[in-house]
Amino acid sequence: MRFVYNSNSTMHLPALMQIRVARETGWDGIFVRAEHLRRYLLQGYEPATLRSALEGLDPVNLGALPDIERWRTAEHAAMLDEARELTDLAVEIGASFVQVLSGPVAPGGSYTGPAELTAAELRRVTANGLRAVADLGAPHGIRYYLEPIAWTPLAPLARAVEAIEEADRENVGLVLDFWHLWQRGETPDSVARLDRRLIFGVDFGDSLGRPGGGGPDQRSRWVWPGEGSIPLKAWVDAVLATGFDGWWDNELYSSRHWESPDPFGVAKGLLDVLRGVVAPA
């Protein structure tokens, strides 16, 4: 079991500061956002400096590739171009995992999403996308985890699992994001029934309000874990019941907390909460 610092919890820090926060507060690994790393590299710094900074952190997770199911010809080609760039970056910095997201991640944008597709068609095009992306990273040992986003047609956990199984690639799996699952109305029972081999990681987190909202308004995430509505111990127990023993992060996707003057305190507090629920002394 390893604990991964999710840099979404301190969104506005420079890339190297995110890495420093993770290292100095005791996390095993780190999740980093590609846009933060590219911003750093655009200043003329070499990728080798990021790889050096990340040395010793394990795993290193990189996000994210949105709208994995894109199937229309031009959109599918654009998705693969994005996947190649993200995979190349993962290889350059020594990342272990790459995050992929069901779509549309941004409702109302230029990509209208797969709402017109039947469930079978959605499963097929998602599996095709996962398979194509997985084959890009397989020679480099890169693994990809699908995160079903609450407001997308692939959000039901059963649908996401079916797409992963149809993709039939050993380097494709699932991340269990408590907030997205809660918003979609999933339960610990549905998690406990999963095959642990499909689970690559867990995004621990809380939510305000009742389950089943399912919309793109993410203000319900503005809560410190343990102070919201999700019965976190029950969800953790459900994950552990599968036999899963991989990485966990604690994602505080909260613009209120991003303004904290003490990112080290935020990171240390999140690790303490995570350890206290997942691996109590």
pLDDT tens per residue, the chain (281 residues)?
A: 999 999 999 999 999 999 999 999 999 999 999 999 999 999 999 999 999 999 999 999 999 999 999 999 999 999 999 999 999 999 999 999 999 999 999 998 999 899 999 999 999 999 999 999 999 999 999 999 999 999 999 999 999 999 999 999 999 999 999 999 999 999 999 999 999 999 999 999 999 999 998 889 999 999 999 999 999 999 999 999 999 999 999 999 999 999 999 999 999 999 999 999 999 87
Query: Alpha-carbon distance 236 to 40, whole Å?
Result: 35
Which pLDDT does position 36 carry in this prediction? 97
Which pLDDT does position 166 carry in this prediction? 98
Which pLDDT does position 281 carry in this prediction? 73
Residue with tokens 């991340």: 175
Check if the beta carbon of residue 30 is closer than 8 Å to that of residue 4: yes
Query: Alpha-carbon distance 28 to 37, whole Å?
Result: 19
Residue 221 DSSP class: G
Query: Alpha-carbon distance 259 to 36, whole Å?
Result: 17
Residue 243 DSSP class: T
Check if the beta carbon of residue 42 is closer than 8 Å to that of residue 15: no
Instruction: Identify the burial level of 56 via C-beta atoms within 10 angstroms of its C-beta, where 0-12 means exposed, 13-18 middle and 19 or more buried.
Output: exposed
Which pLDDT does position 7 carry in this prediction? 98
String of DSSP letters for 52-85: HHHTT---EEEEEE--TT--SHHHHHHHHHHHHH
End-to-end CA, the chain: 14
Which pLDDT does position 214 carry in this prediction? 86
Query: Among 145, 132, 149, 120, which Cα is nearest to 76's?
Result: 132
Query: Alpha-carbon distance 157 to 6, whole Å?
Result: 22
Which pLDDT does position 213 carry in this prediction? 86
